[in-house]
Structure 1
Amino acid sequence: MINFKTNYLLLLTFLMLINLGCKDSSKDVAKPTGTTKEKPNIVVIYMDDLGYGDLSSYGATEIETPNIDALANGGVKFTNAYATSATCTPSRYALLTGEYPWRNERARILAGDAPLLISPQQQTLPKLLSKAGYQTAIIGKWHLGLGEGDVNWNDTIKPGPNEVGFDESYIMAATQDRVPTVYIENGNVVGLDKNDPIQVSYKKNFEGEPTAKSNPEMLTLKWHHGHNNSIVNGMPRIGFMKGGEAAKWKDIDMADHFLQKAQAYVKRHKKEPFFLYYAMQQPHVPRTPHPRFAGKSGMGPRGDVILEADWCIGEFVKTLEDEGVLENTLIIFSSDNGPVLNDGYYDDAVEKLGDHDPKGGLRGGKYSLFEAGTRVPFITYWKGKITPGVSDAIVSQVDLSASLADFVEVEGNKTDSQNLMSTFLGKSKKGRDHVIIEANSRTALRSGDWLMIPPYKGNAVNQNVGIETGISSEYQLYNLKDDRSQQNNLAEEEPSKLEELVNLYENLLK
């Protein structure tokens, strides 16, 4: 007969085994395994022209971005993260292909009627994730070209996002300041009246159509440079457009519109693993905050649309939570390039800036080889799976391709992308040894604490936007650890280091 002491020991052992079996593993980060339903959703939230210093989590004191800060405080905030380019089209190309944009001579800022930049035969991030059973979608800004030239906007437009790996697409063709000013869903213009066909040209205006130059009285926003062609909703644009009146977007509703599409996508696909590329338009020009946010920042429309974007992100994350998928969703947040104030319109971005520093103490900005051109906010968040922290590792958006492919265990072709998934998940502090950055087809090298910019011909300042380009007729060498704002060119003082980096740079380009 078993006595009381024996019973007690058996019971204690049994309870210990149960406790071990119920051990909380939420903090153990591992690759997804099992059925497709168990794989985490992946969301890339990509802002447009957001600077390193534009978020309160990155040091801004004149503006509050609580929803983005919640991602930063609950995930890994990267301080040495780079877009591949200081302009939008090239950065988006690298993000989706894993290839440096300077390898493709067409990877420059595209016109609104440019042909598709990514080849349908090319490896892309959505194609890789599709192999792992993911449903894939893009919602928001595309700006990677459409069709094969001479697009017929009144028929299904191919090739486009759907032909390079996205199962669903709801986009604007280029940017908010370029025609055509319509939404395109899976290759078809939304709300198009076939009796009022769309015509688009980037060469000449259509007879009788008003422009910012011919009819300035129609403008609600004055143009500064470049944006003086067709007028839509009182806004002067780049390029000429005729027709399609019923399909034209309302600028002030764009943020809400894309948010609603993103929320609806999550609700439709919450029972299967999904990859959503949520490409927001803020704070790119023209900055058109919804009336709910107009005047809220005190910094004019640019500050207002940053607040608007932060609210949209909060609402989107809330949708993930309400639909029960937040804890099974990896969120990656970043921006396509650095900040710019006056980028073609008089909208008080300069006049009402006050003490805010969109560059976050860096030098340069959009269009620049200096740090503020390509060093951007970058956050990874996975509730319960990523331990909050700050990482100084050098990472690039080009690395998402190889990293996420490894994460979901699919094979991909070799590209410029490096597998830094353990770094993105906060499990490693090691990043890249080197990264090549680009601005207007000129390249430079970040290696360790050093930045080397080769000599180039061109203007030291982009006069239109008032930003230093980083262009000089001499080599430039900066120690970013000691000289974050790049005020001290060490090229003459450190000839051996310069030679080392020049040789490395030339080998990497090969």
Structure 2
Amino acid sequence: MEQRNKYRIILLLAGLFGLSGGDVVAQSKPNIILLYADDLGYGDVGCYGASAVKTPNIDRLASRGLRFTDAHCTAATCTPSRLSLLTGTYAFRKKAAILPGDAPLLIQPETHTLPRMLQQAGYTTAVIGKWHLGLGNGVINWNDNIGPGPNEIGFDYSFIIPATTDRVPTVFVENGRVPNLDPSDPIAVSYAAMIGDEPTGLSDPQLLKQRADTQHSNTIINGISRIGFMTGGKRARWVDEEIPMVLNGKAKDFITGHKDKPFFLYYPFPNIHVPRTPNRKFAGTTTLGARGDVIAEMDWLVGEITHLLDSLGIAKNTLIVFSSDNGPVLDDGYEDQAGQLNNGHKPAGIFSGGKYSALEAGTRMSTITYWPGTIRPGVSAALCSQVDLMASFAALTGQQLPAGAAPDSRNALDVWLGKSVQGRKYLLEESYTLALRDKRWKYIAPQTTPTPDWMKNKKIATGLAPVEQLYDLQKDPGETHNLASQHPEIIKTLKAELKKLTL
């Protein structure tokens, strides 16, 4: 009897240790999903103060995860932020700016990227959504294999919007090919001169669903005039109102197909970038017009992904990071009444500026990390940057970054997981100048290049000036009182640290 009891105890302990060991192995390689919004302001979702638009699914992430109050993208525009996110490198080092729709690939194929690092850790990787990091090496033949692109920098699967939804070509690219393309109707694209005989926003404004400024008034497709000219590819063209549904279908298929092994999904939403064309399921559901409707639509996309994880039983082994690429903008080229219908809604919350701006709303993002059973619900005031996600994910998955890789990324895993509140001592913000933050103070370097002419129509405080600026964010989060002349010692310190970062 005694021997039998000992045997039972041994079996019980072995079972317990087996379960524990299996759990540790699973947790050491969690699935990773980056839900990356476009032009979403700090105050655009409910858990950050919005009341005019409801975001129950994002709010659920925040209530059950970690909500950050001082987390930042690296730049106030999209392409630079995305470059930093995927390479751990500040965009100014690559002279990155907003790319035209036919720009070559900005990230060189030999670069040790975030997805490539995770591939080496045993992950299957995918990007589904807005790309805007360039494709090819120069002139793109949209009717053949399009590369290099996402698949050449570490993504096993890609289904992308090549640039933005307001730029041609208005087709998806899947693993380097335009799906549903009719060879007898080849695609041609030009950003230099008009091609083909399709109507434009200037020649046929009566065909438009939304009027647009001159920049956005080239070829009309689906009732929306775009930046650039396009002809052909009619069978392959997207329908704007269906884009989120198509992307979410692809994302859900990828997750379902890879649920049994570690996967990384980079899911950059087109929402809430212009043109704002909500699906009929969401059109008219908010008082904010199309801009509010596409926020509600984006929230639904988030909910569809989190509900899927729950139904597949993999939520507890999946880390979700939700954030955005830059701050908010109301009027960004299309007459969708975003400004007129804003009705007291504060896209930037208590902060000033927005997209394109050197002020705080340009880079301070609504940011949430969610990992049931690992991340305790709470709020973090840690100063943190998206550029650190690459080094943090390397630590999470036991990867050693090669020399020279991700030069600006720092391991902040404990911060992202809520185990520490010790964020960055200094944080860089890029716009049309550079700024440096510490926990309290913000230094904005003098503007040395002209402000683009098109910025004048954006109705956003740029924060750009020919003089040095210094703000006490604890007392003045709106950056209204320049204290540079009163604190030369702080200016000296922050300038010196900025110089170190830019070497």
**What's the TM-score bracket when you normalise by the shorter of the two chains?**
over 0.9
Matched to 1:283, the amino acid is I
In structure 2, what is the Cα distance between the partners aligned to 1:38 and 1:333? Answer: 21
TM-score by length of 1: 0.93
Q: 2:167 aligns with which of 153, 173, 178?
A: 178
In structure 1, what is the Cα distance between the partners aligned to 2:247 and 2:369? Answer: 22
Matched to 2:107, the amino acid is I
1:220 maps to 209
Q: Number of aligned pairs?
A: 497
2:93 maps to 103
CA gap of 1:424–1:210, structure 2 versus 1, over 3 A, is same
1:503 equivalent to 2:493? Answer: no
1:192 equivalent to 2:185? Answer: no
In structure 1, what is the Cα distance between the partners aligned to 2:260 and 2:16? Answer: 25
Contact 1:31 1:408 in 2 (8 A): no
Q: 2:39 aligns with which of 49, 54, 58?
A: 49
1:263 equivalent to 2:252? Answer: yes
Q: 1:355 aligns with which of 335, 344, 349?
A: 344
- Pairs within 5 Å for 1:103-142: 103-105=93-95, 107-142=96-131
In structure 2, what is the Cα distance between the partners aligned to 1:87 and 1:451? Answer: 19
Q: 2:416 aligns with which of 421, 424, 443?
A: 424
Counterpart secondary structure, 2:142: coil
1:371 maps to 360
TM superposition outliers: structure 1 runs of 4+ over 4 Å = 17-23, 30-33
Matched to 2:197, the amino acid is G
2:230 maps to 241
In structure 2, what is the Cα distance between the partners aligned to 1:32 and 1:504? Answer: 43
1:399 equivalent to 2:385? Answer: no
Counterpart secondary structure, 2:275: coil
CA gap of 1:59–1:397, structure 2 versus 1, over 3 A, is same
Matched to 1:111, the amino acid is P
Contact 1:225 1:345 in 2 (8 A): no
Contact 1:460 1:468 in 2 (8 A): no
Task: State, as a whole percentage, how many aligned pairs show the same letter.
Answer: 49
1:250 equivalent to 2:243? Answer: no
Q: 1:64 aligns with which of 51, 54, 64?
A: 54
Contact 1:32 1:407 in 2 (8 A): no
Contact 1:82 1:397 in 2 (8 A): yes
2:307 maps to 318
In structure 1, what is the Cα distance between the partners aligned to 2:334 and 2:14? Answer: 63
Q: Once the two structures are superposed, what CA deviation does each residue of 1:76-96 show, in whole Å capped at 9, x if it has no partner? A: 111111111100001000000
Matched to 2:413, the amino acid is M
Matched to 1:473, the amino acid is P
Contact 2:38 2:269 in 1 (8 A): yes
Cα RMSD, aligned residues only:
2.6
Contact 1:405 1:412 in 2 (8 A): yes
Following superposition, the deviation at residue 18 of structure 1 comes to 7.2
In structure 2, what is the Cα distance between the partners aligned to 1:131 and 1:491? Answer: 47
Q: 1:91 aligns with which of 73, 81, 96?
A: 81
Contact 1:112 1:145 in 2 (8 A): yes
1:451 equivalent to 2:442? Answer: yes
1:471 maps to 464
1:305 equivalent to 2:294? Answer: yes
In structure 2, what is the Cα distance between the partners aligned to 1:234 and 1:62? Answer: 28
Gaps of 5+ in 1: 3-10
TM-score by length of 2: 0.94
In structure 2, what is the Cα distance between the partners aligned to 1:460 and 1:272? Answer: 47
Following superposition, the deviation at residue 455 of structure 1 comes to 1.1
Matched to 1:470, the amino acid is G
CA gap of 1:221–1:450, structure 2 versus 1, over 3 A, is same
